Amino acid sequence: MWSEWRKSSRSNGAGGNCVEVAVSADAFRVRDSKNAAGPVLEFDVRAMAIFLAGVKRG
């Protein structure tokens, strides 16, 4: 079961670049908030953890 799509709390709603995330027990989905009907990227939990660790390292 997937959660509802959530937008970053840092999004200002002014139409800038933003992504939305939906989660399940074992995966994450990511999409462009301006194109909800567009493509969706899906990552397993391990891949998302590696990605987030890289983002935090800069």
Higher pLDDT, 53 or 14: 53
Report pLDDT for 11.
Answer: 74
Residue 16 token pair: 């800038």
Residue 2 token pair: 């997937």
Report pLDDT for 13.
Answer: 66
Q: Please provide the DSSP assignment of 23-44 as one string.
A: E-SSEEEEEETT-TTS--EEEE
The answer on pLDDT for 50 being more than 90 is yes
Report pLDDT for 41.
Answer: 95
Q: Residue 42 phi/psi, 5° resolution? A: -125, 130
Q: What is the pLDDT of residues 4-30, one digit of tens each?
A: 999 877 776 666 678 899 999 999 999
Distances (CA, A) of 8 to 21, 24, 31, 38: 8, 17, 12, 18
Q: What is the pLDDT of residues 30-43, one digit of tens each?
A: 999 888 899 999 99
